[in-house]
Amino acid sequence: MKKLTNWIMDTLEWLFDAKDWKMLLRSIPAIVVALFVVSTVTMNLAANKIVWSGVKIGQNYFLSVTGGLFLSWAVFLIMDMVTKTFGGKASIKLNLFGAAVNALAVIFLGIIAALPSDFPYPGANTAFNQVFGFTGSGVQPWQILLSSTTAYILSGIVNALVNVLIGKFFIKNPDGKIAFITRSYISTMLGQFVDNFIFTTMAFVLFAHFYGLLTVVGMSLLGALLELLCEIIFSPLAYHKCKKWQQEGVGKDYFDYCKKMELTTDPSRFEYRS
C-alpha cells in the first residue's frame, strides 16, 4: 500500500511539475509540436465521419474506416520520435498536451455553433454546424470528444510504454535503425488498436448503438494495419530526423534539467538519457 501511495504521489508531482512542462515544450522543435497539435485536432474532428464501409455481414458493416485515419498515423509517429529522443514520460506529456488543446478546440467550436447567425447568407449557421457535427442528430461532438480523448490518452500511454519496453531489448545498438523501426512498428500497432477499439466502442456502440463487437474488432484491426502501413512508409524519415536531433543536441536543456532532478530530488520521476 505504501508503494502504491508513493507511486501516486510521484506521478502527480511529475504531472504537475510546471518547469518540466516548460522545459519539454521548449525543447521539442516548434514545428513538430505544431504538426502534432494540428494533426490531433483534425484527426479527432474527422473521426466523426465514416469514410468507408466496405464489408457487410448480415445487417452490420464489419470493416469501416473513419476520417481520423488520415492523420492518426502522423500523431503516433511523432510520439515515437519524442519517445526515442526525450523518453517515454515526455511522450506521455506531449500526448496530454495534445488532448488538452483538442478539448479546447471542440469547446470553442461548440460555443461558436451555439451562437445563432445566418450572416452572410441564410443557412450559414446550419452549414457550419453540419461541417463540425453540431446537428443534434447522430453522434454528438461532446460524445466524440469524450470518446476520442479517452482513447487518445490511453493509447498514447500504451504506445510510449511499449516503445520503451521494446527498446530495452536492443542493448548492443539501441540507437540503430532496426531498433527504431521495431519499437515504432510494434508500439504503433498496439497503440493504434487500443485507440481504435476504445474510440469505436464508446462513440459507435455506447453512444450511437451503430455497431456490434464484431464490427468494433474489425474496424480496430483494419485501422491499425492501415496506420501501421503509413508509419512504415514515413518511419525512415522520422529515424533520420531523430538522428539529426541527436547530432544537433536538441533537448539539451531538458536533459540537463532531468539529470539534475534525478541526481538531487527524486530519481523515480525522471529518465535521464545521456
Contacts of 138 (CB under 8 A, 6+ apart): 208
In a domain, 86, yes or no: yes
The pTM (predicted TM-score) of the whole model is 0.85
Is 68:200 a contact under the CB 8 Å cutoff?
Answer: no
In a domain, 17, yes or no: no
In a domain, 67, yes or no: yes
In a domain, 267, yes or no: no
Which CATH number does the domain housing residue 211 bear? 1.10.1760
* Grid cell listed for 271: 529518465
Per-residue tens of pLDDT for the chain, all 274 residues: 777 787 778 778 888 889 999 999 999 999 999 999 999 998 888 877 777 776 666 666 666 777 888 888 999 999 999 999 998 989 999 999 999 999 998 888 888 877 777 767 676 677 666 666 666 555 667 777 888 889 999 999 999 999 999 998 998 888 899 999 999 999 999 999 999 899 889 887 888 777 778 778 888 888 899 889 998 999 999 999 999 999 999 988 898 888 877 655 544 444 444 3
In a domain, 132, yes or no: yes
Angle 65-80-104 from CA coordinates, rounded to 5°: 65
Q: Is 69 exposed, middle or buried (0-12, 13-18, 19+ CB in 10 A)?
A: buried
In a domain, 273, yes or no: no
Please give the residue range of the domain that contains residue 122: 29-250
In a domain, 260, yes or no: no
Total domain count for the chain?
1
Contacts of 150 (CB under 8 A, 6+ apart): 198, 199, 202
Grid look-up 523515480 returns 268
CA dihedral 248, 253, 254, 259 (to 10 degrees): 110
CA distance 143 to 139: 6
In a domain, 271, yes or no: no
